[in-house]
Structure 1
């Protein structure tokens, strides 16, 4: 199974069914916070739903269509990051992420995104990495902006969140623009 130790605090690992209980508890404890920007929260009602999500992630990993990793901070599941999809013909990966609110402000997500970018460019041979975030989700948008992604446009009403559409900001980064040695 895929496991990557970023530093003494953070480990990324491929989720497995034994993580379903901890994942569900994290989502359930942060439900209101996460619901603001994640449209799938209401569909996660119990541990079984988390287990089904993890099974789907494993299948996508085995088929080389995605790579979903748990973010473990001091051994506790803090959130999820990964490539939601790959376009192997054009060597593009699309990163998505979320973090429980009790883990905010520790630099966890920035370090995790850096590690995933490095992996995508160096190990997977991607040429381009994309991130999309809701226009008003400033915390999520701050990460690609901090890491040198180019804001490439706004996708009007690009995502449905429960009872309304939100605009998405599209960010892109090319392998030739990434310097993994800059250290954040």
Structure 2
């Protein structure tokens, strides 16, 4: 089946969270505010967070993400708290290979909400969508070996650590080589 024909929900619900595609114009301002608030933490791990984007750049990025969602090239979800409507962070299926089918999951959290189990809950909901609805045969989570908070997500969700690739990537700022953990659920 052509992936463009797949019925992928634009919104997911978890116990405390609502995950939705970035389909609402104006999402850029709330996401940009979270990037600003979380910049010091994000820049350590994420290449996109080496400079603070403008609200317009964030809005463009989100609109492009929605286009990619519709094209079935990637699936980005913005995470909101059901009760308070606060913006929590982002999680997504990236690197889709429809022949196998497989993907990897990316995520980042608004620092204000870190340590409350929200990202674990969001990634769990995304995994359930991927394995049970989309029928991925393999979902990976890759992260830097020293990023213990990020590593805890796949470990708590029962992903298998398949290996640690030595000197496999550059640090987010490009200054040194880093080791990459590869976790997978099949």
Same-fold status (TM-score > 0.5): yes
Judge conservation of contact 2:13–2:125 (CA < 8 Å) in 1: no
Residue 17 of structure 2 is matched in structure 1 by 10
Whole-Å separation in 1 of the counterparts to 2:149 and 2:46? 13
Q: C-alpha displacement at 1:84, in angstroms?
A: 1.5
Post-superposition, which runs of at least 4 consecutive aligned residues in structure 1 deviate over 6 A? Answer: none
Report the CA distance between 1:47 and its aligned residue: 0.5
SS at match of 1:30: helix
> 2:86 matched to 1:100?
no
| 1:11 positional shift | 0.5
Structure 1 unmatched ranges of 5 or more: 175-184
Mapped to 2, the partners of 1:157 and 1:45 lie a distance apart of: 29
* Residues 1:50 and 2:62 are matched in the alignment: no
Q: 2:161 aligns with which of 125, 138, 151?
A: 151
Change (3 A) 1:59 1:156: farther
What corresponds to 1:120 in structure 2? 130
- Secondary structure at the aligned position of 2:158 is classed as coil
Instruction: Show the 5 A alignment for 1:1-184.
Output: 2-7=10-15, 9-16=16-23, 17-73=25-81, 74-160=84-170, 161-162=172-173, 163-174=175-186
Gaps of 5+ in 2: 1-8
Over residues 34-61 of structure 1, what are the superposed CA-to-partner deviations in whole Å (9 max), with x where a residue is unaligned?
Answer: 1111111124421011112112211211
Distance 1:159 1:57 in 2: 24
Per-residue CA shift, 1:96-115, capped at 9, x if unaligned?
A: 10111110121101111110
- Deviation readout 1:63-108 (Å, 9 max, x if unpaired): 1110000011231111100102211101102101011111012110
Pairwise CA RMSD: 1.3
Q: Give me the TM-score of the superposition, normalised by structure 1.
A: 0.89
Number of residue equivalences: 173
Offset at residue 156 of structure 1 (A): 2.5
Question: Could you say what secondary structure the match of 1:152 adopts?
Answer: strand
Q: Which has the higher contact order (CA 8 A, sep 6+)?
A: 2
Partner Cα separation in structure 1 for residue 30 and residue 91 of structure 2: 16
